[in-house]
């Protein structure tokens, strides 16, 4: 039985931001194990733009594919067998969302309860995913320790800024890599000990110079492609590369300056397990309490009708931090 409708972002073909459209869709009441969420804000991620363009690791179901996996909002109703969530709860969407059928870019959405979690105090915008990715990639997968140097590519992105703050919080030394020097001050304010503009400087040489030719213990890479092998030359012997993004769609080249470790990190692998989610949320909560985690919002767009503008900004790479679309009801 239909209880309400939802303004929902859809696309019928892959392409640029202009393929996005908004349609009023009937919304069923939540069934067993489901919740109805009134969306208050959307967090844009690079995965959203790649999915829309047909460049993500799985393809959209066309026509009328949905989009997006990160939102915050209020639970309006719960289905049978949902015990841990109640109407009125402030929540975030979490792992396990298949964007074509469950995409959260809408003003209301029905989701499996397992894809929703209570919103941590202090996260008033959609930034949980950035800190969970930074924690899981740097600490659990990369094994980052106090005193280690870590090279963070795409450092002005939401995850990049969270990674700078996460590394600095544990006493590691974050080295930010960005295309130009225009964002240096903002990146230093987020904890970067060194900012390297890749358009004008040799990243490996600068890391070597900064570490007195010792090299970094970890590379946290959002780009992938052939550049990963080049970046690995900035590592110490037995260093580690963690690749969590594929901004460069060319095949990743395996580094040959062995010994070293190379890992691919997917946040859902950690946050879809109860123990992993518990550790992630404990770490984020502690950083918010002591003030070392300071979510950086690049820009806020008002209303779902601005979704195309938000996608354009994401693809321009002109922002620092998280892009948010705030909804009104």
**Residue 132 placed within a domain:** yes
Kindly tell me if the per-residue pLDDT of 203 is higher than 60: yes
What is the domain-level CATH number for residue 150? 3.40.50.720
Q: 97 and 33 in one domain?
A: yes
What is the reported pLDDT for 96?
82
What is the domain-level CATH number for residue 10? 3.90.180.10
Q: 19 and 94 in one domain?
A: yes
**Residue 284 placed within a domain:** no
Confidence band (pLDDT; 50, 70, 90) for 94? confident
Average pLDDT rounded to a whole number, residues 219-228? 94
What is the reported pLDDT for 3?
55
Q: 120 and 140 in one domain?
A: no
Average pLDDT rounded to a whole number, residues 129-137? 96
Q: How far is CA 116 from CA 65, 105, 177, 259, in A?
A: 21, 15, 33, 40
- State pLDDT tens for residues 257-279: 889 999 999 998 898 888 999 99
- State pLDDT tens for residues 43-57: 999 999 999 999 998
**Residue 69 placed within a domain:** yes
Query: What's the CA gap between 28 and 139, in Å, rounded?
Result: 40
Kindly tell me if the per-residue pLDDT of 40 is higher than 70: yes
Containing structural domain, residue 104: 2-126+295-326
Least confidently predicted of 70-84, 87-101, 121-135, 274-288: 121-135
**Residues linked to residue 22 through DSSP beta bridges, in sequence order:** 9
What is the reported pLDDT for 8?
98
Q: 49 and 10 in one domain?
A: yes
Q: 23 and 76 in one domain?
A: yes
**Residue 190 placed within a domain:** yes
**Residue 273 placed within a domain:** no
Tokens 């690049």 appear where?
A: 298
Q: 181 and 256 in one domain?
A: yes
Q: 132 and 213 in one domain?
A: yes
Average pLDDT rounded to a whole number, residues 292-316? 95
Task: Tell me the pLDDT of the chain averaged across its residues.
Answer: 94
What is the reported pLDDT for 309?
98
**Percentage of the chain lying above the pLDDT 90 cut:** 85
> Of 218, 250, 268, which one is at a domain's C-terminal end?
268
- Identify the top-confidence range among 118-122, 251-255, 291-295: 291-295
Tokens (6 digits) for 112: 């499996």
Kindly tell me if the per-residue pLDDT of 2 is higher than 50: no
What is the reported pLDDT for 272?
86
**Residue 282 placed within a domain:** no
Q: How far is CA 308 from CA 1, 19, 311, 317, 321, in A?
A: 32, 9, 5, 15, 18
**Residue 178 placed within a domain:** yes
Q: How far is CA 99 from CA 41, 59, 85, in A?
A: 17, 10, 22
Kindly tell me if the per-residue pLDDT of 146 is higher than 80: yes
Burial class (CB in 10 A: 0-12, 13-18, 19+), 32: exposed
Q: 103 and 143 in one domain?
A: no
Least confidently predicted of 1-10, 109-118, 259-268: 1-10
Kindly tell me if the per-residue pLDDT of 200 is higher than 60: yes
Kindly tell me if the per-residue pLDDT of 302 is higher than 90: yes
Q: 63 and 137 in one domain?
A: no
Q: 77 and 182 in one domain?
A: no
Q: 120 and 14 in one domain?
A: yes
Q: Could you list the beta-strand ranges (E) of the chain.
A: 2-11, 20-28, 34-44, 71-78, 90-93, 108-112, 116-118, 149-152, 173-178, 194-197, 216-221, 235-243, 260-264, 297-302, 322-326
Q: 316 and 233 in one domain?
A: no
Confidence band (pLDDT; 50, 70, 90) for 38? very high
Count of structural domains within the chain: 2
Confidence band (pLDDT; 50, 70, 90) for 103? very high
Contact 166, 138 (CB under 8 A): yes
Q: What is the pTM of this model?
A: 0.92
> Of 252, 268, 284, which one is at a domain's C-terminal end?
268
Kindly tell me if the per-residue pLDDT of 1 is higher than 50: no
Residue 7: how many CA atoms within 13 Å on its side-chain side?
14
Q: How far is CA 32 from CA 74, 77, 321, in A?
A: 19, 11, 37
**Residue 290 placed within a domain:** no
Average pLDDT rounded to a whole number, residues 90-119? 93
């Amino acid at each position: 039985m239909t209880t309400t409708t939802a303004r929902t972002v859809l696309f019928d073909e892959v392409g640029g931001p202009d393929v996005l459209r908004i349609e009023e869709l009937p919304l069923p009441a939540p069934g067993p194990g489901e919740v109805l969420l009134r969306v208050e804000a959307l967090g844009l991620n690079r995965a959203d733009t790649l999915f829309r363009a047909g460049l993500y690791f799985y393809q959209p179901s066309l026509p009328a594919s949905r989009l997006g996996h990160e939102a915050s909002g209020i639970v309006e109703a719960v289905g049978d067998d949902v015990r841990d969530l109640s109407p009125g709860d402030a929540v975030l969407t979490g792992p396990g969302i298949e964007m074509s059928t469950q995409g959260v870019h809408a003003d209301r959405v029905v989701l499996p309860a397992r894809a929703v979690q209570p919103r941590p105090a202090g996260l008033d915008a959609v930034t949980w995913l950035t800190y969970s990715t930074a924690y899981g990639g740097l600490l659990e997968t990369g094994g980052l320790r106090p005193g280690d140097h870590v090279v963070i590519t795409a450092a002005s992105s939401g995850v990049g800024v969270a990674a700078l703050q996460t590394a600095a919080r544990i006493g590691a030394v974050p080295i930010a890599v960005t295309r130009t020097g225009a964002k240096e001050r903002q990146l230093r304010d987020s904890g970067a000990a060194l900012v390297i503009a890749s358009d004008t400087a040799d990243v490996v040489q600068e890391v070597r110079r900064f570490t007195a030719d010792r090299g970094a213990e970890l590379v946290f890479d959002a780009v992938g492609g052939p550049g990963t092998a080049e970046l690995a030359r900035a590592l110490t012997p037995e260093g580690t590369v963690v690749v969590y993004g594929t901004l460069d769609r060319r095949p990743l080249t395996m580094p040959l300056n062995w010994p070293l470790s190379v890992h691919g990190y997917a946040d859902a692998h950690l946050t879809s397990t109860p123990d992993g989610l518990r550790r992630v949320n404990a770490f984020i909560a502690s950083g918010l309490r002591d003030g070392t985690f300071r979510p950086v919002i690049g820009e806020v767009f008002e209303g779902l009708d601005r979704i195309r503008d938000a996608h354009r900004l994401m693809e321009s790479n002109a922002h620092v931090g998280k892009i948010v679309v705030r909804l009104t009801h």
